[in-house]
Structure 1
């Protein structure tokens, strides 16, 4: 007779960076999908999201991210480590490497790094500082005795209403350099988090998963802005990609801000990459988890 009381235990996801915007969303979707979340947070963290994580059902584990032994103990019993950490070399390379070593030492079978970007595997070194760091860590991850999955989602669609100054609402223009018909990949942070949660709970994921909530050109964004606002938007092209490259060099020279994660020139590098077409993703893995409904650019612009 089968003992029906012995149900399979839910997967336990070790989540680093859970107090960030993306990480918090990932935690919520893992819990919604029936997983267990053990959120690693800095010792003594006063981030208000710590109490919110507890409220939604995550277990909080305070750790010293500089201590691999402590991280190893915190990772015990996990089925996958998900990193949603954000930062520069000290985080994306050094801290993630300690987390990776801890995951291996704890016997965790899978690791999802904090990549969440355009397809940096197709870009040359030096074209984007932040993506260079992800590529560097990726090489280390490839050499580690653990299964890895990077989730590449293009640009967060949410940035079109703020941090990425492409849709200029005041003057009703869509700003670009180069070719207005170049396809680009966009995915909302919420959809990326939902997909990441599904991937974290899926033991069969490949090395890379590529998604795009919408593939759109500048002209598509122009139409989406017009539909979302009910007002006619045009385009604004200051010049070609060569001109944008010169602007990036000047901006970085005059205002380097090298200790900031997203200085103005970094956003310009990202936009240059996208408009070049080099990191365009194909094929897409959108259909892997068919329950996800992808949010369109028009919806994001309408809800700003």
Structure 2
């Protein structure tokens, strides 16, 4: 366990989305590093994590995220606004824009948006709906009089144990399309949160910080699954990337509703992006905070066994 008491107590972090999985972890790491924390929550929210945030030492500020004046008051005195909000255009673009405007008006010098993904700057528009929204907000952020820093971490490694249908534990296969030797970036939610907290309290961060708990190919994941379970895993190639692209179009067309944040076709888009190699993160800034120990794919897969 890392001893964060070695770090100086400095900075007041304004955190939006602290009741979500990633946000709650960020909150914990900010406090462990000695930072002051103000958690913005929706008025009237009875989320079970609010009392836990209070126990951590966070100041809970209930706000109407549609009211810029309330947001300005809530952001007052902050050294960095961190967004861990999740949603579609109304949240990623519109709500974050109001939060950004409030941060600027309150004089907050820095802003970390809710990116936490592959490098969307390298992807063509239309290849991923959720990342297109982040690109749209990024344009607004770049034009604001504030210092922005995006954390790009590839895919959350945790998804390999269930939500991302890549490691098929029942049949002992690793599913893929295209090239089994294409390097991809994976970082656990916890490691991403630890890095984000460090970046939030670091006044010298650049526009982008790219990290990967492990860079792994499909064959590397196959080896990791074998080691994690003690059972021999193989690979299963389902076709070309072009075939996967066709599957995405069909699945999206047949989807009963497209207002979910993570419908099946959205996950397929993300996997297609990663397997294409286009959004590969480079250069990696893993060593910026050397106290962080990165969790390997094998360690995450072992939790499933």
Q: Could you state the TM-score of these two structures normalised by the residue count of structure 1?
A: 0.97
Unaligned 5+ runs, structure 2: 1-7
CA displacement at 1:258 relative to structure 2: 1.3
**Residue in 2 that maps onto 1:115:** 115
Q: Could you state the TM-score of these two structures normalised by the residue count of structure 2?
A: 0.96
CA distance in 2: counterparts of 1:107 and 1:257, whole angstroms: 40
- Closer, same or farther in 2 for the Cα pair 1:34/1:9, shift >3 Å? closer
Decide whether the 8 Å contact of 2:9 with 2:33 is kept in 1.
no
CA distance in 2: counterparts of 1:238 and 1:200, whole angstroms: 41
CA displacement at 1:144 relative to structure 2: 0.1
Deviations 1:38-89 (A, max 9, x none): 0000001011011110111111000000000000000000000000000000
Q: How does 1:261-300 map to 2 (within 5 A)?
A: 261-300=261-300
Decide whether the 8 Å contact of 2:160 with 2:166 is kept in 1.
yes
Unaligned 5+ runs, structure 1: 1-7
CA displacement at 1:10 relative to structure 2: 2.6
**Residue in 2 that maps onto 1:155:** 155
**Residue in 2 that maps onto 1:104:** 104
Q: Which runs of 4+ in 1 moved over 2 A?
A: none
CA displacement at 1:256 relative to structure 2: 5.0
Decide whether the 8 Å contact of 2:147 with 2:207 is kept in 1.
yes
Deviations 1:213-232 (A, max 9, x none): 00000000000000000000
The number of residue pairs the alignment matches comes to 297
Q: Secondary structure at the match of 2:95?
A: helix
**Residue in 2 that maps onto 1:92:** 92
CA distance in 2: counterparts of 1:300 and 1:148, whole angstroms: 31
- Closer, same or farther in 2 for the Cα pair 1:9/1:197, shift >3 Å? closer
Backbone CA RMSD of aligned residues: 0.8
Decide whether the 8 Å contact of 2:9 with 2:34 is kept in 1.
no
Q: Secondary structure at the match of 1:209?
A: strand
CA distance in 1: counterparts of 2:293 and 2:303, whole angstroms: 17
